[in-house]
Amino acid sequence: MRIRLWRWLAPVLVVALGVGAGAAFLVAGSVRAVALPVARPSAPSTGRQPCLAVQVYFRDDDSMRRAAAELGNDPKARRVDLDPQALTWTEFKKIYKQDPAKIAATSESAMPATVVVIPVPGTDLNGYAAELKQRFPDARKVQQLDVEATWKKYHPGVQGFVCA
């Protein structure tokens, strides 16, 4: 009985191992290799790197979402965050709560919808901002930004944005 079992089981195991190895090679071959930008020399480091990003302003949430979907596949984008008009309006009212005239003079529909793109380390931020200006001609504005410094400016004493 044992000999018959091995005669049947041995070929099944060999085929299973072959299929598994073939599948492993297929999966390994289908992974897209991404060439990361070369790191450029910078000023001597003090240990902590700033959280730099490119912020792209749009007129409405739909344009922002289309751009974010495209940027989700960009190998230079490490992280893509969305700030829809409703969130921007809420933040605007918090920042200017001491100035009701300023709040009354604007509305949610006047607020920009923004995409904040944190690039992979080593990306030339100036070049990337220029590239995004060309890719999204309907953007109101494209600017570079130190995310953590901006957060601290508008939300003093509040634990906030984590760049990682």
39: helix, strand or coil: coil
Instruction: Indicate the domain borders of the chain.
Output: 1-29, 52-154
Whether 62 contacts 51, CB under 8 Å: no
pLDDT, one tens digit per residue, over 98-124 is 999 999 999 999 999 999 999 998 889
Average pLDDT value over all residues in the chain: 76
Q: What is the mean pLDDT of residues 63-86?
A: 93
Residue 86 vs residue 36, higher pLDDT: 86
As a CATH number, domain 52-154 is 3.30.70.3040
Q: Is the pLDDT of residue 64 over 90?
A: yes
* Dihedral over alpha carbons 61, 67, 70, 74 (to 10 degrees): -130
Select from 129, 163, 133 the least CA-distant residue to 144.
129
pLDDT value at residue 28: 46
Q: Using a cut of 0.75, tell me whether the model's pTM lies above it.
A: no
Instruction: Copy the structure tokens of residue 122.
Output: 């080593």
For the four alpha carbons of 139, 143, 149 and 152, in that order, the dihedral sign comes to negative
pLDDT grade for 1, boundaries at 50, 70 and 90: low
